[in-house]
Amino acid sequence: MSSAPRSIRDAYDPEQFRRQGHALIDTLADHLAKAHDRQGPVVPWQAPEAARAEWGKAPLAGADLNADLASILARSTALAHPHCMAHQVPPPLPGAVLAEAVVALSNNGMAVYEMGPAAVPIELAVVRFLCGKLGFGDTAGGVLTSGGSLGNLTALLAMRQAHAGFDTWKAGAHGGPPLAVITSDEAHYSVARTLAIMGWGEGGVITAPVDAHHRMTAAAVRAALHSARGSGRRVIGIIAAAGSTATGSFDPLDELAELAAHEQLWLHVDAAHGGGVALSPTHRAKLAGIERADSVVWDAHKLLMMPALVTAVLFKQESHAYEAFAQRASYLFADERAESHWWDLGTRTLECTKRAMAVELWTQLRAHGEQLFAEIVDRQAALARAFADKLDAAPDFELALDPELNIVCYRHTPAGVANLDAHNRALRQRVVEDGRFYIVGTMLGETYYLRSTIMNPLIEPSDFDHLLDHLRALCP
């Protein structure tokens, strides 16, 4: 018998874990069934001050674990509810949730192979699969990391090391001329944040305007490049979007790749949202040209329906995967080139104790095959199109632009309202506080629009009718 104190033995007791686990699965399944049946609120709204006062009480030993977990679930935003049409976060596949439980219990970090003897080869297999879906060749590779922001940082650090013209690890950010990249004026905020972290300052981001379809064209990039060269900055890359955050628009990757090749610039594609269309024969053409990119970021916790966070950072040339973090840790890595120890993934990422995040996607691909993911993407796009059609037909709503995939931007335009921006902002807040639906908002140019991302494939077109009626009913 263990000599550990009784409290420790009880905390690790397998039979108690079994009982609690069975009860928790029942709670989770009931939650899913209720959400799918459109019962209960999407957002159980509580004012932040009241929520902090309630949840911030000092913990007391002896609390009922299952009761606490059930309470947390009931008071969380219900992403599985078909009336949740807000952020680019999916209701995860239930099988992936079970896989994540295995990941949590095994708790294998992945800096070195010996700490992830199953997780490391699974991640390498997932990375190879995703590279293949993008059209990258046998020399491609990459790593999984925690989110698109960290993914963009990883890719742009590799770009800097490959194209700066000096060794930034040794000489620092100011070891050469000031550097810059060109991206659209609607790029995800993580791009500007990343370049600020890299020490490039505000001048490191040179923006090109989007066109009427909210896409960054090669002509706009060419003009921005000409302007940048007159400012003394050395442009080393272009950052394109495949499924932009605001509208879901896809930049013309083929023509941007052509320009990047001609100007000898690194092409990075932020496909955090839109990468999933690579699995859909119906929508795959939206990514035409992505196979010519130097690096791509692709979130599996968006269109591939994984629990957050699972982000792939993929390089056309796997050698670049080692250049983002070209350092040594003697207690982890052999004193050799990182490539010679390709099985130690800590050489490719900022993270050391990294979750075994490939397991969720690997198990679901094996359980369902690619076809399920293609069907989900196609369903999301078809639902967004149906919603856009309803908005077009409604006399008191205005569609900002035709959706390219599953993001719909629109606004309520009732007669007699002078300040539509203020009206729609207030309306969005009333939706959140009411809780029966969930939508967000975005700025397109100088105009505020409501924004719905259709992530849940169990939404029905009738849910959009109910949403529009709900928005009308919330007006004073």
pTM > 0.85: yes
Burial 19-34 (b: 16+ CB within 10 A, else e): eeeeebeebbeebbee
Paired strand residues for 182: 206, 238
Tally of domains in the chain: 1
Any domain includes 315: yes
Cα gap 457→470, rounded to integer Å: 21
Computed over every residue of the chain, the mean pLDDT equals: 92
Give mean pLDDT, residues 92-111: 94
Any domain includes 82: no
Give the per-residue pLDDT at 200: 85
Summarised one tens digit per residue, pLDDT across range 53-84 is 989 886 778 889 999 999 999 999 999 999 99
Burial 386-415 (b: 16+ CB within 10 A, else e): bbbebbeebeebbbbbebbbbbbbbbbeee
Any domain includes 469: no
Domain that holds residue 219: 102-365
**Given a cut of 70, is residue 436 above it in pLDDT?**
yes
Listed in sequence order, the residues at least 6 apart from 117 whose beta carbon sits closer than 8 Å to its beta carbon are 108
Q: Extract the tokens encoding 368.
A: 């369902």
Any domain includes 413: no
User: Following DSSP, what letter does each residue of 170-220 receive, concatenated?
Assistant: HH-TTSSS-EEEEEETT--HHHHHHHHHTT--GGGEEEE---TTS---HHH
**Is 193 within 8 Å of 352 (Cβ atoms)?**
no
Any domain includes 141: yes
Q: Extract the tokens encoding 264.
A: 């000898």
Mean pLDDT is lowest, of 79-83, 159-163, 329-333, 447-451, for: 329-333
Q: Extract the tokens encoding 102.
A: 């295995």
DSSP count for the chain of H helices, then E strands: 14, 11
Q: Which of 416, 406, 362 is nearest to 383 (CA)?
A: 406
Any domain includes 405: no
Give the per-residue pLDDT at 340: 56
Give mean pLDDT, residues 424-445: 97
Summarised one tens digit per residue, pLDDT across range 137-190 is 999 999 999 998 899 999 999 999 888 888 777 777 778 888 999 999 887 777
**Is 175 within 8 Å of 167 (Cβ atoms)?**
yes
Summarised one tens digit per residue, pLDDT across range 374-413 is 999 999 999 999 999 999 999 999 999 999 999 999 999 9
Any domain includes 140: yes
pLDDT bucket at 333, cuts 50 / 70 / 90: very low
**Is 377 within 8 Å of 384 (Cβ atoms)?**
no
Residue 317's CATH number: 3.40.640.10
pLDDT bucket at 201, cuts 50 / 70 / 90: confident
Any domain includes 434: no
